[in-house]
Chains A and B, each alone.
Chain A
């Protein structure tokens, strides 16, 4: 990236406005002809916040980083969207005989979202601690709170995009293959809100868990392991409780965010599975409260960590 700076690209050319070049009689090899005072505009804290947000969002997808950093984001996007494409193709070939099941589809992909979260959220929250960047940020127009909020919102945005993409593909595809797309678009209105609600709530809950764990783990690799480990552990505890007599299937499920969000997706899209037919799930409000609770708790933990962190 070359900088188109005001005609002073050559180090031999004295920058306009700079004081007369110093006599370099001390034999130093440093030629400073570029420095000058700045009198231009400053956009202040809001500019700093958006710089931080955009940088985090790009980092979540590995943009502006070496190819290696793009592997997981690209993989997750492809692997989650391909089945959606296949379903649309099948539905189209069978003239709409194959039903398009959003809930089942997105519910089965939650683990891939966790993969994305575990690989990428430490990129924006652990690395700054690993490389000790925070003192440089906190002595600028970035406060501990604005840092936490920009990072959190960037992870949330990325998770929302990842969670929304396959459902959006199904949605657009379903309209596209309809005999009368315009009519389908009007009748599909009641599908839109579950798509948005599922993407928003699952992204919020996942972000909360990922951000809280990544912020407390100053090493990237350990943070990734911690996030994976937490989901595995919760899944193990939850399925372990299933086996115990006396604990209802549905309350044990709430311990495992992935299972809970899968059920939430089914309820949102009016689908059921065998387990739900055996034991009816609690009302949707419970799942909404759970996901919002996880997101809020995670944000709280992140803010607390940032306030306490010694730099």
Chain B
């Protein structure tokens, strides 16, 4: 879709009086789903508002989908959908009216606006409720309407500010799944902010971590939280003896309670790895231990950023 980056900022700075909300931030965000992570007050919302043209930067520049933020605002508003962190739903309006009206404010003709509103509301999982005044909506429903209005004009980039705020764990999972599906299936790039690193790692391709308005790290996650070279084997039996037997067979292994962590040797082809798996099987047979679970350990964002946070 977009060959280059989705968002590019260059020494972007925003001061509020003596407070520096964004401090010379230079970052490049690739297409896909990107998490924007930082504590409250780290500058996430300021960055988002600058990208959206709601706040002027004190200095520095930024480009969104190859349009300069101080240049072609009309093009950016057509290509970007924004879900704010705060409440923004007039209580006496129904979701259908609200989303239709906002589609018209994005320049949709009346009939297309109605159609699009119905589609996106269905997409976010709002059915009969969408004709009721929004004042009576639960937080989960309100968040869905907010997502729907961000999608209604068919943007190429979605900017979601703390979309899981105020949701219960099940609601969070639903919202994250919805965001992931929207990003993956429709090729819409997503920048999603959160102060919770953990919840984003499931759905993100990359993470930008900021603190005190400064960039801490920006990483693609594919490699980092992908499968690692460690095999976790949960056994029913003596884990210490299991690990010792593996080590005796030349496979590095440690244990923690009932879980044995086997380091899979790296080799150009997978022969060494398969030999390690065979060793696990042989030891299990030899020790008459039941194998309860085997899985490749996945990297976690928290490990990745532990030093930074």
Interface residues of A (CB under 8 A from B): 1, 3, 5-6, 8, 11, 15, 19, 22, 26, 28-38, 40-45, 47-48, 51-52, 55, 64-66, 69, 127, 131-133, 135-143, 310-311
Residue of A nearest to B16 (CB): A310
B49, B92, B151: which contacts A65 (Cβ < 8 A)?
Answer: B92
Asked whether B123 lies within 8 Å of A32 as measured between CB atoms, the reply is yes
B side interface size, CB within 8 A: 56
With A42-B78, A66-B92, A136-B149 known as contacts, the answer to whether A141 contacts B119 (CB < 8 A) is no
Asked whether B107 lies within 8 Å of A47 as measured between CB atoms, the reply is yes
Shortest A44–chain B CB gap in Å is 4
The 9 closest A-B pairs by CB, nearest first: A34-B122, A51-B104, A35-B123, A38-B154, A30-B125, A34-B119, A3-B118, A32-B123, A44-B107
B105, B115, B116, B125: which contacts A140 (Cβ < 8 A)?
Answer: B105
With A28-B174, A44-B107 known as contacts, the answer to whether A36 contacts B119 (CB < 8 A) is yes
Interface contacts beyond A26-B177, A311-B54: sample of 11 additional A-B pairs, CB < 8 Å, sorted by A: A28-B177, A30-B125, A32-B181, A32-B182, A38-B154, A42-B78, A44-B74, A48-B104, A132-B86, A135-B82, A136-B82
In angstroms, Cα B53 to Cα A139, docked, is: 7
Asked whether A1 lies within 8 Å of B106 as measured between CB atoms, the reply is no
With A131-B87, A137-B105, A142-B105 known as contacts, the answer to whether A3 contacts B186 (CB < 8 A) is no
Shortest A306–chain B CB gap in Å is 13
Q: Residue B44 at the A interface, CB < 8 A?
A: no
Asked whether B105 lies within 8 Å of A48 as measured between CB atoms, the reply is yes
Asked whether B104 lies within 8 Å of A47 as measured between CB atoms, the reply is yes
Shortest B131–chain A CB gap in Å is 7
| Residues of B151-196 whose CB lies within 8 A of A | 151, 153-154, 173-174, 177-178, 181-182, 185-186
Shortest B153–chain A CB gap in Å is 7
Asked whether A47 lies within 8 Å of B109 as measured between CB atoms, the reply is yes
Asked whether A139 lies within 8 Å of B82 as measured between CB atoms, the reply is yes
A-B contact pairs, 19 of them (CB 8 A): A3-B114, A5-B119, A11-B122, A26-B177, A30-B177, A34-B118, A34-B119, A34-B123, A35-B123, A37-B154, A43-B107, A43-B108, A48-B104, A127-B90, A132-B86, A133-B90, A138-B54, A139-B53, A140-B102
Asked whether A42 lies within 8 Å of B108 as measured between CB atoms, the reply is yes
With A36-B119, A47-B108 known as contacts, the answer to whether A135 contacts B178 (CB < 8 A) is no
In angstroms, Cα B185 to Cα A47, docked, is: 30
Q: Residue B120 at the A interface, CB < 8 A?
A: yes
User: What A residues does B123 contact at CB under 8 A?
Assistant: 32-35
Asked whether B186 lies within 8 Å of A35 as measured between CB atoms, the reply is yes
Asked whether A141 lies within 8 Å of B78 as measured between CB atoms, the reply is yes
B49, B114, B186: which contacts A37 (Cβ < 8 A)?
Answer: B186
Q: Residue B89 at the A interface, CB < 8 A?
A: yes
Asked whether A28 lies within 8 Å of B178 as measured between CB atoms, the reply is yes
| Residues of B28-63 whose CB lies within 8 A of A | 49, 52-55
The DSSP consensus for interface residues of chain A is loop
Asked whether A140 lies within 8 Å of B119 as measured between CB atoms, the reply is no
Residue of B nearest to A38 (CB): B154
User: What A residues does B73 contact at CB under 8 A?
Assistant: 143
Q: Residue B243 at the A interface, CB < 8 A?
A: no
User: What B residues does A30 contact at CB under 8 A?
Assistant: 124-125, 174, 177-178, 181
In angstroms, Cα B122 to Cα A6, docked, is: 14
In angstroms, Cα B102 to Cα A268, docked, is: 43
Asked whether B82 lies within 8 Å of A6 as measured between CB atoms, the reply is no
In angstroms, Cα B112 to Cα A40, docked, is: 8
User: What A residues does B225 contact at CB under 8 A?
Assistant: none
With A34-B122, A138-B54 known as contacts, the answer to whether A45 contacts B115 (CB < 8 A) is no
Residue of A nearest to B113 (CB): A51
In angstroms, Cα B80 to Cα A28, docked, is: 26
User: What B residues does A15 contact at CB under 8 A?
Assistant: 119
Asked whether A8 lies within 8 Å of B119 as measured between CB atoms, the reply is yes
With A3-B115, A136-B82 known as contacts, the answer to whether A32 contacts B96 (CB < 8 A) is no
Asked whether B116 lies within 8 Å of A133 as measured between CB atoms, the reply is no
Asked whether A5 lies within 8 Å of B178 as measured between CB atoms, the reply is no
Asked whether B131 lies within 8 Å of A1 as measured between CB atoms, the reply is yes
User: What A residues does B117 contact at CB under 8 A?
Assistant: 3
Asked whether B151 lies within 8 Å of A140 as measured between CB atoms, the reply is no
Residue of B nearest to A142 (CB): B105
Asked whether A5 lies within 8 Å of B88 as measured between CB atoms, the reply is no
